[in-house]
Structure formats: structure tokens, C-alpha cells
Structure 1
Amino acid sequence: MPAVIFAVILGTIVGLVIHLGKWFNKGALLMQRPITKMIPTENLGISKDEFMSLMVTATVLFCASGTGIYGALDEGMSGDITILVSKSILDFFTAAIFAASLGYAVSIIAIPQFIIFVILFFLARFILPYTNSTMILDFKACGGFLMLATGFRIVKLKMFPIAEMIPAMILVMPLSWLWGNVILNFIH
């Protein structure tokens, strides 16, 4: 567990220092510009700026959530689809809510979401041979922390910086290896 705690703390610091949330928003904005040109907003009853803002929010929520990133990596490593199935059920209802304002444009977000999650799935397959069971368990625990933080944010109990916490998912395995193979040897 110490490696997971270090990963969450260091990963969040890295995310905050490089303003990762702003980068996700910029990326979503770039993806949504062509969509807003193709889809008329006059019939939706909202301004073009409001449409763009809602599309960026939806894109970040669907494509860059800790649950989705963790779920795709976890499925690639273990074959366990339960996180992605849970996310898809939640996304279905969330998309219906966004569709009330955005219309059918919200369905286009599935394209970048699919691309991102497939890349993460195959990346996990590439990483798997270099891991051990402790590293995978620490990865899952780190993903659990991000999912818990996401839940707190959804119910507005505590507004954790979820996008900025995502680097923890990258750091947890190297820190887990370092903890198990180097630091524990000094402690014992």
C-alpha cells in the first residue's frame, strides 16, 4: 500500500504542476470544433458557446475519466471487463442527460472514446509481461482510489482533481517495483 499512496500523492502533484486538466480540456475543445461546425445548434435552444462548453465537458467526462482509463488498462492486463461494463452503464445514462441539451451530437464522442480505450487496452498488453502480481494489485488499488475520488466528485461531496490524479496510474507500477525490490531490502 505505501507504493499506492506515494503514486497517488506524486501523480496528483505532477498532474497539478503540468495542469493536466487544462490539457484535457484543450484536447476536447480541439476534437469538438469540427463537430460543432457540422451540427447546427439553432434547433437545440442553446447558444453555440453553451453547446461547445457542454460538448467539451462531455468529452472529458467520457474520454478522460479515471474509471475509463483504469477500466481499459485493467481489462488489458487481467481480462476483467467489470469496470468497463460498469462505466458503460453509467455512461449510457449520463449520455442521455447530455443528449437532452446536445441532441445526437453526444453520440459522436464514442469515436474518440473508443480510440483512446483501445490504445490503453493494447498498451496494457504490452506492459503486462514486465509486471508481477504485487504491481498489478497496487495498480488496481490506485485505480480504486481514483474511482472513489470520482464518486466523491460526482456526488459533490469533495471535488477531487480527477484529471490531475491520472499520472498516479502511470507511476504506481514503477513505484511498486521500486518499493518491493529496493526499499524493502533497506528496511529489512
Structure 2
Amino acid sequence: MVLTGAIVNGIAVVGGGLLGRLLHRIPERIKDSVMKVMGLAVSVLGIQMGLKSASFLIVIISLVLGAVLGELLALDDQLNRLGGWLERRMGGAEEGSISLGFVTATLIFVVGAIGILGALDSGIRGNHDVLFTKAIMDGVMACILTTTLGIGVLFSALPILLYEGLIALGATQIHRFVSDELMNRLIAELTSTGGIMILAIGMNLLGLAKIKVANLLPAIVVVAVLVTIFE
């Protein structure tokens, strides 16, 4: 089934989050140390991905235009409002943590090339190995994030399912419109653009900045359009 990989990824996040929920009594100093380590690891991952570009000018233009569109659409505010709604539905438990956990985890799990590549592989070849690997990594990260950010992390499974599922479904027809050469170029620039967003998430986790990463998400669409035009 085309959606198998996306479904497994979502289940892994929920499972990891529930396990992290059981470990929530970890002392605050340990949680703080773990969060800093996560921030460092996410930052390094972002740097590695950011260097994949073959035309960094496209990445810069995409991020600038994406930031403008994101600010105009107030995506970060809307994502936080969705997190706040989840928080209210949960009875306001752990005030502030549900929204923060949902937004942070959603951005970490959704932004990046692995999900895109895995979903494309699921749709084009029916091979879910990439998404299964991502599911393991996301499950472990969800466990760690839940111990520090709370139960809101679990709700990030829904955006994962929608995001990867839609890409997988679209990929079943993508070979009709996109050549292999264009696809490789798209993947390289998407990887680099997503890597810079992941670096921003890492900086936020480390407390070095307060970047509204959700407002950068339109850059993913912009980079796809620009690469297609230039190609």
C-alpha cells in the first residue's frame, strides 16, 4: 500500500511519545542537558543538509521569498494557535507545553529531505525502507522530546501522516511530468533548503535564537518552482 510508510512513521512518533510520557519524571537538569544535546545534533544535521545545494543562490532566494510569504500568511501564528487549541482540548494540562511540543516536533519531523525522499520512494517504487528508517529515528526523537516538551509531541503524528501521505500519493503520477535529472536537482535544493530550516530549529532548541521556522515553510514550494524554471 502506498501509504504504509507514512502510517508507520506516524505510529512510531505516537509510540515514542507515549514512552517518553512514561519517562517524564526525569530530573530537570537531565532534561536540560538532553535538550541541549538534541539542539546540537539537530544543528549539525541541518548544516550537513544545507551543504548539499548545487546552486546556493536558489536556496537563498527561496528562503527570502518563503520568509516573506510565511510572514504575510502568519504561518507560525497559525501553527501556534493550532497548538493552543490542542492545549485547550486537553484541559490546559501542562500549560504552554502542548503547543510548544506540537510546533517544535512538527517542524523537526516534517522539515527535511528524508520524509520527501521516503514518500517519493513509496509512491514511485512502492519501497518504504526510507520511511521505515525515518520512523525509527523519529520514534526515538519523539521519546526524548516528550520528556522535555510534553505530550504535544504526540500530535505531530497527524501532520507527518498528511505530509508524507500526500507526497506519496502524488508521486504515483510524478514520473509522467518530472524527468530523473530534474528530480535529482529538486532533491538537492530541497535538501539544502530544509537543512537550513533544521539548523534554525537547532538554534531555537539551544536558546541561541527565536526564529519563526514555520514562516519559512513556503520556501519549500518556492525552491521547487525556481528549480523547475531554471532547469
Q: TM-score range by the shorter chain?
A: 0.7 to 0.9
Aligned to 1:47: none
Q: Which moved more, 1:22-31 or 1:73-82?
A: 73-82
- One-letter identity of the residue aligned with 1:124: I
Unaligned runs of 5+ residues in structure 2 are 1-54, 122-127
- Aligned partner (choices 139, 156, 177) of residue 88 of structure 1: 139
Q: Classify the secondary structure of the residue corresponding to 1:10.
A: helix
Unaligned runs of 5+ residues in structure 1 are 42-50, 100-105, 181-188
The yes-or-no answer on 1:174 pairing with 2:225 is yes
Q: Which moved more, 1:139-148 or 1:126-135?
A: 126-135
Q: Which moved more, 1:112-121 or 1:67-76?
A: 67-76
Which has the greater radius of gyration?
1
The yes-or-no answer on 1:58 pairing with 2:101 is yes
| Matched-pair contact (CA < 8 Å) for 1:11–1:166 | yes
For 1:143 and 1:172, how far apart are their aligned partners in 2? 10
For 1:67 and 1:6, how far apart are their aligned partners in 2? 24
Once the two structures are superposed, what CA deviation does each residue of 1:65-119 show, in whole Å capped at 9, x if it has no partner?
Answer: 15434343332124534555444323211201234xxxxxx1x752x32221111
- Aligned partner (choices 185, 203, 216) of residue 165 of structure 1: 216
- TM-score scaled by length of structure 2: 0.60
The yes-or-no answer on 1:115 pairing with 2:162 is no
Kindly report the root-mean-square deviation, in angstroms, between the aligned alpha carbons of the 2 structures. Answer: 2.4
Provide closer, same or farther for how the CA distance between residues 88 and 6 of structure 1 changes in structure 2, counting only shifts above 3 A.
farther
- One-letter identity of the residue aligned with 1:89: V
For 2:157 and 2:167, how far apart are their aligned partners in 1? 15
User: How many residues of Structure 1 are paired with residues of Structure 2 in the alignment?
Assistant: 159
- One-letter identity of the residue aligned with 1:91: A
For 1:7 and 1:88, how far apart are their aligned partners in 2? 30
- TM-score scaled by length of structure 1: 0.72
Higher helix proportion: 1
- Aligned partner (choices 58, 69, 80) of residue 25 of structure 1: 80
- One-letter identity of the residue aligned with 2:158: I
Q: Classify the secondary structure of the residue corresponding to 1:115.
A: helix
Aligned to 1:74: 117
Provide closer, same or farther for how the CA distance between residues 152 and 87 of structure 1 changes in structure 2, counting only shifts above 3 A.
farther
| Matched-pair contact (CA < 8 Å) for 2:100–2:149 | no
- Using the aligned pairs only, state the percent identity: 14
